[in-house]
Structure 1
Amino acid sequence: MPLIVITGIPSSGKSRRTLELKEFFEKVHRKKVEIIHEMDAIVKAGYTKNTFYADSRKEKGIRSDLKSEVQRRLNPNDLLILDGSNYIKGYRYEIYCMSKLYKTPQCTIHCDLPIEHAWMLNEEQPETQQYSREIFDALVTRYEIPDSRNRWDSPLFAVMPEDELKFQEIYNSLYNVKAPKPNMSTQCAPLSSTNYLYELDKITQEVVSAMLTAKTMGIETNIKIPGYGLTVNCSGTGPQLTRLRRQFLTYSKMQQTEQSQIAPLFVQYLNKSL
């Protein structure tokens, strides 16, 4: 299903815009609309918003679950809305790659709101549903504003509280366009070699090992990968690299590529994600 990614700082009206979109697509265009709410996943996991955003490990776990849910529900006809903070551009890029993999159009809705206005709206919420000032300020600081020049944020629709959503333009961006063409990072030609999985595992592990070795030597940027003539822009932690390698393996097993392209594609994926 075509995908709308909702993003914005805390209390910027994301869920309100989600409901407006749902009403429009259902009533005007008779589309089935499914919504994945980040807050529902947080509550289901037993967290409050303040305890959740204070722990990066909890955030990573929920983000992974949400991404899996998006992957499971994507199809060519119905509409899927991902309602959440989605404040990390690398995470939005991963969602974008998934959309391209499944050949489904995507757009981004940025709920743009002045910080103090958002804080005022937060204070109007019941006390149990408010962000603490510390968590609110931390999320504002972390927020990576979407940019229409980035293909993973485009087409981008920014909306202020007083604005009406450009409903028909959003519809056209999802249903009156051709499905996105897969590229080398999201879909590849079938591989003739019978030992593809072995080579995929071996090559990606070599890249990760080279990065971890460089890190122990104090090299944090422009890490050269011996034997491949490739460079990773910056290092990551062991758990980060393990997670990204696992995600890349999942994508690559579904859409095989030539053995010579495994390392370049993996390095490209790391450079976009780290």
Structure 2
Amino acid sequence: MALITVAGFPAAGKSSRATELSTYLAARIASPDYEGPIANVVLISDDSLGLTRACYDESKLEKPARGALFTAIQRQLSTDTILIVDSLNYIKGFRYQIYCAAREMKLRTCTMFVVAPPEKCKEWNSARQDGRIYADKTLENLTMRFEEPSSMVRWDAPLFTVMWDDEDAPGEQIWDAITKGNLKPPNSGTLAVAKAPADALHVLEHTTMLLASAIVSASSAQPTGGEVQIAAGTEVRVAMRLPGRNVTLSELQRLKRQFVSVHKKAITLGTTERGGVDWSALSVANKFVEYVESHLRQ
């Protein structure tokens, strides 16, 4: 249903705000007045995944930790779940990555930016008694590298900013955003590429070769042009309008090479056209005839 990304400086109070928001959203779902599709709220955090603060001390430790977080996010994304991701999320590229994963699932997204001064974060980090603290050098490094969310970019919007001294998280506004906001279609870059069948190249070559020969024969038999039936083998027949002149074999061979060259690329690289592409002999024949007709009229 929705993905909520929580971002902010380390030790800025993100987990407290995320828990507060999770409690509010769960209460809204459980309310007798709510009859929507959302069934539950899931909160993912470094702590819930067993990721210690020490994993941010070195990049070689941080990368697999971030990979584990992304894998957990992908597992929990669902059309009946509000997923809250409580982590540093300080890299805009990572926020964009999880945004794309949510859009692929056709989910709404928003970002909650928890703001606290670096001095306050350092104070809160030192005061923790549960052992879940950042090393001083790591805290300073992460604060300097933090890439602040912006409401101007699509992967952070809509953006809700929560100051360290705010009484409550903006639960109602976030609820409206994830239940009533615009549902963006998947990005073309996130769509699965439809692959052509294994025999598509053979069908393309064979069908166009037969049609080229058939068009030349039909043109010789009907030099005045007009509507004719063209056959490609025994199973494929298509209608075509011939021009009022003789069509040469070299002309048809040139058009065949151009047509095959263009469609070979689609077969090799795949396509993201909605519904995929029909590579049957009849479909190829119809497309080739349309291509030939448009070029013979020029």
RMSD across aligned C-alpha pairs, in angstroms? 2.5
Report what 1:144 is aligned to: 147
2:268 and 2:2 mapped to 1: Cα distance? 29
The offset of 1:121, in angstroms, is 1.2
Query: 2:24 matched to which residue of 1?
Result: 24
CA distance in 1, matches of 2:148, 2:45: 20
Identify unmatched segments of 5+ residues in structure 2: 31-38, 201-265, 273-298
Structure 1 segments of 4+ aligned residues over 3 angstroms from their partners: 188-196
Question: Which whole-Å deviations, capped at 9, do the CAs of 1:71-90 have from their partners, x for residues lacking one?
Answer: 11111122111110011111
Q: Deviations over 1:146-186 (max 9, x none)?
A: 11111111111111012232211101111113432012111
Summarize the Cα distance change of 1:82–1:179 in structure 2 as closer, same or farther, 3 Å threshold: same
Say if 2:116 and 2:164, in contact at 8 Å, map to a contact too. yes
Task: Report the Cα offset of residue 129 of structure 1.
Answer: 2.6
* Partner-residue secondary structure (3-state), 2:113: strand
Distance, in Å, in 1 between the alignment partners of 2:129 and 2:8 is 20
Between the aligned partners of 2:199 and 2:95, the Cα distance in structure 1 is: 32
**Mapping 1:72-83, distance limit 5 Å:** 72-83=75-86
Counterpart residue number, 2:72: 69
TM-score normalised according to structure 1 size: 0.66
The Cα shift of 1:260 comes to: 7.0
User: Which piece of structure 1 moves more, 150-159 or 172-181?
Assistant: 172-181
Corresponding letter in the other structure for 1:32:
N
Mapped contact 2:111–2:159 kept (Cα < 8 A): yes
Q: Which has the larger radius of gyration?
A: 2
Change (3 A) 1:94 1:194: farther
Say which of 114, 131, 134 aligns to 1:131: 134
Separation in 2, partners of 1:184, 1:257: 18
| Alpha-carbon displacement from aligned partner over 1:21-71 (angstroms, at most 9, x marks no partner) | 11111112325111111133244xxxx41x311121221111111111111
Pairing 1:116–2:119 present: yes
Contact 1:105/1:180 (CA < 8 Å) preserved in 2? yes
Amino acid at match of 1:168: E
1:91-125 per-position Cα deviation (integer Å, ceiling 9, x unaligned):
11100110111111111111111110111111211
Q: Percent identity?
A: 31
Aligned to 2:8: 8
Q: 1:9 to 1:258 in 2, by over 3 A?
A: farther
2:209 is aligned to none
Match of 2:185 in 1: 181
The amino acid of 2:59's aligned partner reads S
TM-score, normalised to structure 2, is: 0.61
User: Aligned equivalents of 2:26 and 2:63: distance in 1?
Assistant: 32
Alignment of 1:194-205 (within 5 A): 194=198
Q: Which moved more, 1:90-99 or 1:179-188?
A: 179-188
SS of residue in 1 equivalent to 2:156: coil
- Contact 1:41/1:62, CA 8 A, preserved across alignment: no
Instruction: State whether residues 110 and 146 of structure 1, in contact with CA within 8 Å, keep that contact through their aligned partners in structure 2.
Output: yes
Cα distance, 1:195–1:102 mapped onto 2, change above 3 Å: farther
Alpha carbons of structure 1 residues 187 and 257: separation in structure 2 relative to 1, 3 Å: farther
**Pairing of 1:146-161 with structure 2 (within 5 A):** 146-161=149-164
Tell me, in whole angstroms, the C-alpha distance in 1 between the residues paired with 2:198 and 2:184.
30
Structure 1 runs not aligned, ≥5 long: 197-255, 263-274
The count of residues paired between Structure 1 and Structure 2 equals 198
User: Match for 1:259: what amino acid?
Assistant: L
Aligned position for 1:33: 41
